[in-house]
Every structure is written in C-alpha cells, then in structure tokens.
Amino acid sequence: MLTMFAILNSYFPLCSVSDCTEALADTNEEKGIFLVHPDRGKHAVRLFCETTQTGDWTIIQARIDGGITFARGWDDYKTGFGEPDEEFWLGNENLHHLTTQDNYILHIDMWDLSNTYYYAEYDFFKVDEESTNYRLHIDGYRGNATDAMRYSNFMPFSTMDKDNDVSSTHCAKFYTAGWWYKHCHYSNLNGRYTVGVVWFNHDLDEWVQMRRSIMKIKIVNNTTAPGSGAG
C-alpha cells in the first residue's frame, strides 16, 4: 500500500512550490514540514521550513542529542537521513538542486557544552553536482564564531567510503563522518556527537566542541539580511 507521502510525491511535480518561501506563503504557517519540489530536482523532498524576522529558512542539518549516527557512507549523505524536525542531513543531491535554483545564504547556529551561543553566516552558499563530488562554494562570512568553514571552500564532499580530501589521512574515515574535508578540517559539524562536533575559533585559537548545531539556508533576496538593522 502506498504511503501518503508516496502518493503526494508522485503528484508533486505538478506543483509550483520549489522552496520554503513558497511553501510558507501558500499555507500561512510560520513553521513546519512541507513537501517541496526544487526546480531541478527529480522528486519532491520533505523540508522543515520556518519564517523569522530575517526571512524564510530551510533546515539542512541538525545535531541535537546524538540520537542518530552521522557515521555514514556516500549514498546516505547523497539522499539524506534523519527527520527534518529532529537530527537531520538534507542530502547533498537536494542541497545541489536547492542552491543552484537561486542564490542562497547559509546560517549556522551553534551551542557549546556550556551552552554558549555562536553563529556563522555566509552570504553565498552553493553545492555543485555529484560529478564534482558535491564541491562546496562559500563566501561572505559574518558572525561571532570566526570563519572556520572558509577552509573547506572549493572542496569536494568526502565520506567514510569515498575519500575526496587532499590529505594523506582519509579524513572522513578517521573522523567517522561526511564533510567537505581538506587537511582535514576547521569545522566538522557532522562529526562524532560525543567528541567530534567541533568548530575552530580563531579568536580563541582553540577547538570548540558543540552540543548542538543547526544549519539553515534562505534565498538571498528573501527579506533583509541579519545585521542590517531591519526588524
């Protein structure tokens, strides 16, 4: 028997909702899980969308309590895993389809083991197609966490079963995670939950272990960017 999601998914290509901004506008909801069909995607995808004073956001990653493992292979990271409103990875293929249909901002919220809050925001965020191993493009940092993710710019994605970094160490296998590794990383938000969810703080000159992280994206022209004075 087909699930309701499978039934909706089979008809969804007829729908014009291609991102969270359209989904939220159509329903007048402030947040929730919606079926969205990116312009270049083959299938609809379940997204957690939320509207705030700074715009309409799509959650692409969440680490909350270590409830699921992020020590996974290429196929899982390609298609995504977890639940959109719980621990979650959206999937690199979905990231590619979303971030190439428009210009997107990436915002990252992080809380360390003492519940100190950090954030990093990038004015430009794009993930290339699979033939490039989902190469990352990121630029335009602002925040209080310092720019640890710039180190991964232009790097392809690596997983435990696919080594695409430039290090003699198989970074993804060593850190049991999937990420845009180089030699190996300054950010590793998909790392082992108990010890490896980290962000390098250049001001403090030390690794900060995070208890929680949320990565989310929004279209660049969707309301005014944070820090501009708009409420």
- Quick one: pLDDT band at residue 221, thresholds 50, 70, 90? confident
Residue type, 13: P
Task: Indicate if the pLDDT at residue 58 is higher than 80.
Answer: yes
Q: Name all domains of the chain by residue range, CATH numbers in brackets.
A: 4-157+212-219 (3.90.215.10)
CB 197 within 8 A of CB 175: no
pLDDT of residue 54: 93
* Maximum separation of any 2 CA atoms in the chain, in Å: 56
35 pLDDT more than 80 = yes
Lookup: tokens for 231: 């409420």
∠ CA 208-212-213, nearest 5°, is: 90
pLDDT (tens digit per residue) in 113-127: 999 999 999 999 999
Q: pLDDT for 149-181, tens place per residue?
A: 999 999 999 999 999 999 999 999 999 999 999
What is the Cα–Cα distance from 187 to 199, expressed in whole angstroms? 4
* Whether the predicted pLDDT of 5 surpasses 70: no
pTM above 0.85, yes or no: yes
